[in-house]
Amino acid sequence: MTARYRVILCDLRSDQVLDILPAQGLKCDDYIGKTGTATFTIPVTDSTMARRAREAVIPARTAVWVERDGEVWWGGIVWTREISPPSRGRAGSLGVQAATFDSYLAHRLLTAGWTGTGVDQLDIARQIVDWTQSLKGGDIGIEIDWEQVSGVLRDRTYSRYDLLVVRDVLDQLANVEGGFEWRIRTYRDASGRRVKSLQLGYPIIRSSRTELVLSAPGPVIGYRMPEDGTARATHWYSRGASINRNQAEASYPLMSAPVFIDGAVEPGGWPRLDGTSDYTSVEKQSTLDGHARADLTRSWTTTQVPSISVRLDGSGISPGLLGSTIRLRIRDAWFPDGHDARYRLIGLATTPAERGRPETAELLLEPAAAPAALSA
């Protein structure tokens, strides 16, 4: 039986339902580590529908919830809309683009700054999100669980004069060596309430679900295994804030200690590949060194990001599986002896069934890579 999708439009701050309108060409995706998106078109057949769509879909003010068979499948904020007038006998439409709720934090500044010494890194993230929502008009209902700890204590100072973007602060805090992962998770709780919550994972987000086995031939109807060497590096340097406050003298940025992959060039045979990154608000040497090591590890280990396509109906796949382990088995011309490997599910893109097209999902996978051996 074909799954039923429904798009619910709500006020972003109160989550009060504004309208439920038909949607065509719906596509939505969600990820660990980056913002997800949703696109759809509302057919406008008359002036009444035009008025409803115009009043309910307000960029930067309207929240979108996508339900699949009554379950919350995706949630986010409308950021753009585009009116298309009727033409050649075709009805008009309203094109909508939305992004997951974490996108809101890219539109907020840390205007009060923040300072802490020896604070658990997850608590820093929670305090910043909590402050973001404490200002008048800033509460969009992101719920925070204050119980989880990582055991990794950080010293951080964020100046209010830097006007740092809250999303960037969280990403930078999370992406240092020994960091964590975060996202805004959406779901329906036991009482039927739509929930958006800050999900933190140390060192990574893991789903509590059991391992899911997918095979080709079988539920897997296609796969891609691209490998990208353009971002790979064997050596890394990171730049920090200016270390000279005297404007009469030359100014130089704080530099990380050089770090490299042990054994990559000799005896591994790789050519030397240099990489760099900038952290203009980082003034502490140990913090900058931690960023350099984390950046090099990612550059060295994430050159392959496989994706697989599956028929969604009956596959057991849902957004709640983000962070879970997928065991992928393939036997074909590329893998005549069989491919059997475990991956972590880090992204899910859904395309509902429409006009004879089956309901499908594309799964973005992260290989289980051995930790890189770094040297400085």
Cα–Cα dist 177/166, whole Å: 20
Name the domain boundary from 249, 272, 300.
300
Residue with tokens 């298309």: 84
Name the domain boundary from 104, 131, 163.
104
> Between residues 249 and 220, which one has the greater pLDDT?
220
Read off the pLDDT of residues 70-117 as tens digits, 9 standing for 90 and up.
999 999 999 999 999 887 767 799 999 999 999 999 999 999 999 999
The reply to whether 220 and 345 lie within a common domain is yes
User: How many structural domains comprise the chain?
Assistant: 4
Give pTM, 2 decimals.
0.91
Give the range with max mean pLDDT: 4-13, 241-250, 293-302: 4-13
SS3 118: strand
What local confidence, expressed as pLDDT, does residue 314 receive? 76
For a pLDDT cut of 70, what percent of the chain falls above it?
97
Tokens standing for residue 163: 């006007």
What local confidence, expressed as pLDDT, does residue 302 receive? 78
Phi, psi of 55 (to 5 degrees): -75, -30
What local confidence, expressed as pLDDT, does residue 137 receive? 97
Name the domain boundary from 104, 137, 165.
104
The reply to whether 138 and 35 lie within a common domain is no
Cα–Cα dist 224/347, whole Å: 14
The reply to whether 220 and 319 lie within a common domain is yes
The reply to whether 338 and 359 lie within a common domain is yes
What local confidence, expressed as pLDDT, does residue 370 receive? 58
CATH code, domain with 9: 2.30.110
The reply to whether 128 and 50 lie within a common domain is no
Look at residue 316 and tell me whether its pLDDT is greater than 90: no
Cα–Cα dist 77/80, whole Å: 9
CATH code, domain with 114: 3.55.50
